[in-house]
Amino acid sequence: MKPRISMVIALITSLLAIPVHAERIKELASIQGVRNNQLVGYGLVVGLDGTGDQTTQTPFTVQSIISMLNGLGVNLPQGTNLQLKNVAAVMLTANLPPFAKNGQTVDVTVSSMGNAKSLNGGTLLMSPLKGADGKVYAMAQGNVLVGGVGASSGGSSVAINHLSVGRVPGGATVERAVPTDVGQGEFVNLELNQTDFTTATRMVETINRNFGANTAIALDGRMVRVNAPLDNNQRIGFISRMENLTVNPGEDIARVIMNARTGSIVMNKEVKLDTVAVAHGNLSVVITSEPLVSQPNALSQGQTVTADQANIEIKEKKGELVMVKAGASLGEVVKALNAIGATPQDLLAILQALKASGALKADLEII
């Protein structure tokens, strides 16, 4: 009997020692100043199989081709009318990661800005990528990969996925590095991904428990200031150990995300619902038009007259009053909402009404 009791006590002790919902600091916060930088550029994609821009409707494509050819020593006669189908004008976007050095490569996203049908099989010509300050930080060139396929013939066409956007993996070479300071003087500031005073307090306690008292202080619910070594090598090692410490974050805010365009609804586990009665009915208006032809008699010398007759029909589905029981968990909330029998588009309106009545215990965010 005693060995069993000892095993139970050991099991309970091991379970209590496991942190509940613990996350590493690197997953909850980022180092201030260590960030990506957005780059943008303009270029030409060539080698398309007749799916490029219609140059009569995209004059900027023709101007770009002429400027490029002039730069390569090819002078076109004045008034030359270019009718090209294998070239497309594109916008280029890329993210320059922190600490990127000259010669390293980054991925480039290529997006058509004209009326090109597809960028599949094209090659991006050398194009500069600039930052917000107008300086060139990378040069892009390479084959464009498109995750789709399309075909057309006789006025009919079929397309799978999006054909006017592609990527050039490793297609941009960094030409200018962005200086990045790891910390500000003797401090390193941690910026929480989400504002939470509980998480900030627990993060300070964890850091001070592992590195000594007064090592970290919380400036607010978003930022934690940490004393770090001044020597750069020691600072890197200090940050490595610190960001791998585990912290039990505060409870998530109850939130419902609604996409009004697609009807998508996403809830987190903190959403709760009070008991409420809901009635929802659908009203639809159907308008049909039928052509009427008035044919005159053979000897009346009249003319045939065509008119349209419109029929308007209003349909209203019966909306029953449904009692929705309170739900203390996400599963119970989903079950209660499904009991209403409404479509996702109907739930968008119902959820907003529930929030206004105070029955929905969550923040609504419409995207």
Domain spans, the chain: 37-73+81-149+159-174, 181-247, 255-296+304-366
Which of these ranges, 16-20, 135-139, 244-248, 294-298, has the smallest mean pLDDT? 16-20
Q: Tell me whether residue 355 is exposed, middle or buried, using C-beta atoms within 10 angstroms of its C-beta: 0 to 12, 13 to 18, 19 or more.
A: middle
Each residue's pLDDT tens digit, 333-365? 777 767 766 777 777 777 888 888 888 888 888
Each residue's pLDDT tens digit, 204-224? 999 999 999 999 999 999 999
Each residue's pLDDT tens digit, 110-159? 999 988 888 988 999 999 999 999 999 999 999 999 876 555 555 555 55
Alpha carbon separation from 110 to 77, 141, 147, 206 (Å, rounded): 31, 11, 12, 44
β-partners of residue 40 are 93, 130
Radius of gyration of the chain (CA): 32
| pLDDT > 70: percent of the chain | 75
The SS3 call for residue 271 is coil
> pLDDT tier at 106 (50, 70, 90 boundaries)?
very high
Find, among 198, 195, 185, the residue nearest to 225 by Cα. 185
Q: Is the pLDDT of residue 167 over 60?
A: yes
Outline where DSSP puts E strands in 193-320. 216-218, 223-227, 246-247, 255-259, 264-267, 272-273, 276-279, 283-294, 305-316
Name residue, tokens 């008034």: 79
> pLDDT tier at 8 (50, 70, 90 boundaries)?
very low
Q: Are 321 and 277 in contact (CB under 8 A)?
A: yes
Which of these ranges, 8-12, 140-144, 192-196, 244-248, has the smallest mean pLDDT? 8-12
Interacting residues of 330 by C-beta distance below 8 A, sequence separation 6+: 267, 268, 269, 270, 271
Interacting residues of 295 by C-beta distance below 8 A, sequence separation 6+: 304
β-partners of residue 288 are 311
Residue 243: its pLDDT value, please?
A: 92
| Cβ-based neighbour number of residue 213 at 10 Å | 7
Q: How large is the average pLDDT for residues 182-198?
A: 87
The SS3 call for residue 348 is helix
| Cβ-based neighbour number of residue 306 at 10 Å | 8
> pLDDT tier at 82 (50, 70, 90 boundaries)?
confident
Q: Tell me whether residue 90 is exposed, middle or buried, using C-beta atoms within 10 angstroms of its C-beta: 0 to 12, 13 to 18, 19 or more.
A: buried
Q: How large is the average pLDDT for residues 245-273?
A: 81
Q: Is the pLDDT of residue 288 over 80?
A: no
Q: Are 40 and 136 in contact (CB under 8 A)?
A: no
> pLDDT tier at 63 (50, 70, 90 boundaries)?
confident
Alpha helices in the chain (DSSP H): 2-17, 25-28, 59-71, 197-211, 232-243, 330-340, 344-357
Query: For residues 134 and 267, what is the distance between their CA atoms, to the nearest angstrom?
Result: 42
Highest mean pLDDT among 226-240, 298-312, 313-327: 226-240
Q: Is the pLDDT of residue 38 over 90?
A: yes
Q: How large is the average pLDDT for residues 51-56?
A: 82
Q: How large is the average pLDDT for residues 71-92?
A: 82
> What average pLDDT does the structure give for the chain?
80
Q: Given phi > 0 = left and psi -120 to 50 = alpha, else beta, which region is 142?
A: left
Q: Is the pLDDT of residue 289 over 70?
A: no
Query: For residues 48 and 122, what is the distance between their CA atoms, to the nearest angstrom?
Result: 5
> pLDDT tier at 1 (50, 70, 90 boundaries)?
very low
Tokens of 120: 């599949």
Q: Is the pLDDT of residue 263 over 60?
A: yes
Query: For residues 228 and 238, what is the distance between their CA atoms, to the nearest angstrom?
Result: 7
Residue 157: its pLDDT value, please?
A: 55
Q: In this structure, what are the phi and psi dihedrals at residue 242, rounded to the nearest 5 degrees?
A: -70, -45
Tokens of 216: 């970290």
Residue 330: its pLDDT value, please?
A: 62
